[in-house]
Amino acid sequence: MCLAAPSRITVIFEGGFLAEVESFGNKRKVGLAMVPEAKVGDYVLVHAGYAMEILDEEAARESLKTWEEILAVTGEAKSCTDKS
Amino acid sequence: MHGQVLKQFRDPDLGRRMAESTRQRLQRLADKLGRRPRFMEFCGTHTAAISRTGVRGVLKTEVDLLSGPGCPVCVSDYSDIDRAIAFSTVPGAIVATFGDMMKVPGSRTTLQEEKARGADVRVVYSSLDALQLARENPDRPVIFLGVGFETTAPTAVMTLEQAVREDIRNFYLYSMHKTTPPPTRALLPDPELQIDGIILPGHVSMILGRKAWDFLPSKLQRPGVVAGFEPVELLAAIDTLADMLLTGNLSVVNQYGRAVREEGNLVAQQAMDKYYSLVDGPWRGLGTVAGSVLKLKQEYAPWDAEACFAVNVPPTQIPKGCICGEIVKGKQSPFDCALFGKGCDPIRPVGPCMVSSEGTCATYYKYERM
Ligand code: SF4
């Protein structure tokens, strides 16, 4: 029930209360009141008919980088023990 | 652009390496604890995602992943479900609800059965659709059944705000909305559960912010990870919990940074503060949880279904054999229920845990039966 789908804002309607978003080729209208700073082109998470948050792509890349680093370290540690 | 990043969160190779790292860390943690570690997730979407992605299966021997009270429909008390169903008998009313609620058995009937008997019950995707029904049917009360946690609760009052702005008087909200930190606080100290760490709800945290969970390490000595829903994210969350428990460095880590901020969504928080007050209320399985239920404030009584319509709520009758109340606490698994798959299935659900797509019984029925 707390499912949220990533969608791209295609149009913001007058007054800024509603926007049109696109997700996997489907277009629908959603409430924009929770993310008043959102712009056309932003990716937002949509839940229960409202855009909830603007997705931060930089943060996503950051997570991936951190995990890659952690895994690289774990991998090294493993090969070290293998040698000994 | 965003699709590319998502793909990486589902990358099988990264997933395999993450699973291997997690497995090793969990084994070291098991050595330290002298038993298998136990983590709990408090989000039905996580329950479903952990099964669907195969993460539960992959780490089956290394960790117990318990499902907590993370499905809003499942934790709704019978008295609340019965009242929701009773609103469909208000003369002339249109009841608007999310699809999950249609088949939920109350003490005597379901919304679906009431609809078959002639009640006007409509499935909507959003409270905004319910408001539209109110605009189109100005002579009829439209009662929106609000069920959900902090992710859903603000959407209902954003819509209510619009109703107030347009002076739409025939839109009513029945709020069964609940907040998640109070039951987390109530469940964690239970010695029977032995929960070592918590996978924190991603979308609830999007509203509340990472900070809202700082009480876990400081008051309850448990680590938490705010997690996303993709396979690599789920594994990373489990890996990080194990790591914190091994080092003894307990905190609340945000691993869903693409959606969750430190402070959460302030607009949504302000809307909730403006319209709701937190009251003590019943949760299935947990009994009364202090300050956990969001009810409309007195000044919005003209839009509050409970304040405006007196309905007859029948005395509660719990279906025989259903252990949903124990399942939402993580104390029993669907496999412990004699009715699971034998008399209770998604077509003919006996309890709410089998109805909602995020209910533990429904998830286990779909993914975990051998
Ligand atoms: S399988 Fe059905 S009867 Fe058993 S606990 Fe789950 S919902 Fe209740």
Question: What's the pLDDT tens digit per position in B350-363?
Answer: 998 998 878 999 99
Question: What's the pLDDT tens digit per position in B120-159?
Answer: 999 999 999 999 999 999 999 999 999 999 999 999 999 9
CATH of domain B75-179+264-308: 3.40.50.11740
Q: B259 to chain A: nearest residue by CA? A: A55
Q: What's the mean pLDDT in B199-220?
A: 96
Q: What pLDDT, on the 0 to 100 scale, is given for residue A71?
A: 73
The reply to whether residue B203 touches residue A59, judged by beta carbons under 8 angstroms, is: no
In tens digits, chain A (84 residues) has pLDDT values of 456 677 899 999 988 899 999 987 889 999 999 999 999 999 999 999 999 999 887 777 777 777 777 777 665 444 444 433
Using 50, 70 and 90 to split pLDDT, how confident is the model at B324?
very high
Cα torsion B56, B60, B63, B66 to 10°: value is 50
Q: Measure the CA–CA gap between B202 and B150, rounded to whole angstroms.
A: 11
Q: What pLDDT, on the 0 to 100 scale, is given for residue A79?
A: 42
Nearest to B127 among A36, A49, A59 (CB): A49
What residue type is B300 in one-letter code?
Y
Ligand 1 atom at minimum distance from B323 CA: 5
Q: Measure the CA–CA gap between A48 and B146, rounded to whole angstroms.
A: 11
Half-sphere exposure of B260 (CA within 13 A, CB side): 28
Chain B residue numbers touching A70 (CB-CB < 8 A): 21, 239
Note the residue count of chain B: 370
Written as six digits, the tokens of B54 are 């195969």
Q: Does A11 touch chain B (CB under 8 A)?
A: no
Q: How many other CB atoms are there within 10 angstroms of residue B165's CB atom?
A: 9
Q: How far is CA B238 from the centre of its chain?
A: 20
A51 in Cβ contact with A19 (< 8 Å): yes
3-state class percentages of chain B: helix first, strand second, coil last, to nearest 5? 45, 15, 40
Phi, psi dihedral angles at B361 (to 5 degrees): -65, -40
Q: What does DSSP say about strands A18-23 and A26-31: parallel, antiparallel, or unpaired?
A: antiparallel
Q: Measure the CA–CA gap between B150 and B206, rounded to whole angstroms.
A: 9
Ligand 1, pocket residues at CB < 6 Å: B 321-324, 327, 334, 337, 339-340, 344, 349-351, 353-354, 361
Higher confidence at residue A61 or residue B85?
B85
Of all protein residues, the one whose alpha carbon is nearest to atom 1 of ligand 1 is B340
Mean pLDDT, chain B, integer: 93
B287 in Cβ contact with B77 (< 8 Å): no
Q: What pLDDT, on the 0 to 100 scale, is given for residue B263?
A: 97
The reply to whether residue A56 touches residue B44, judged by beta carbons under 8 angstroms, is: no
Q: Does A64 touch chain B (CB under 8 A)?
A: yes
Angle at B49 between CA B226 and CA B42, to 5 degrees: 45
Q: Measure the CA–CA gap between B57 and B53, rounded to whole angstroms.
A: 9
Ligand 1 atom at minimum distance from B324 CA: 5
Helix (H, G, I), strand (E, B) or coil at B63: coil
Question: What's the pLDDT tens digit per position in B287-321?
Answer: 999 999 999 999 999 999 999 999 989 898 888 89
Give the minimum alpha-carbon distance from A20 to chain B in angstroms, rounded to a whole number: 14
Options 3.40.640.10, 3.30.830.10, 3.80.30.20, 3.40.50.11750; CATH for B2-72+188-245 is: 3.40.50.11750
Q: What's the mean pLDDT in B101-117?
A: 93
Which residues lie below 8 Å from residue A51, measured CB to CB, with a gap of 6+? Answer: A7, A9, A19, A21, A30, A31, A32, A34, A35, A38, A44, A45
Q: What's the mean pLDDT in B227-250?
A: 94
CATH class of A5-73: mainly beta
Q: Indicate if the pLDDT at residue B65 is higher than 60.
A: yes
What share of chain B has pLDDT > 90, as a percent?
A: 78
B237 in Cβ contact with B225 (< 8 Å): yes
- Pocket of ligand 1, candidates B322, B348, B356: which has the most ligand atoms within 8 Å of its Cβ, to mutate? B322
Chain B residue numbers touching A25 (CB-CB < 8 A): none
Q: What pLDDT, on the 0 to 100 scale, is given for residue A80?
A: 41
Domain ranges for chain B: 2-72+188-245, 75-179+264-308, 324-362
Domain ranges for chain A: 5-73
Q: What pLDDT, on the 0 to 100 scale, is given for residue A77?
A: 45
| Residue that is written with structure tokens 């698994």 in the block | B333
Q: Indicate if the pLDDT at residue B3 is higher than 70.
A: no
Q: What pLDDT, on the 0 to 100 scale, is given for residue A24?
A: 78
Q: Cα(B343) to centroid of ligand 1, in Å?
A: 9
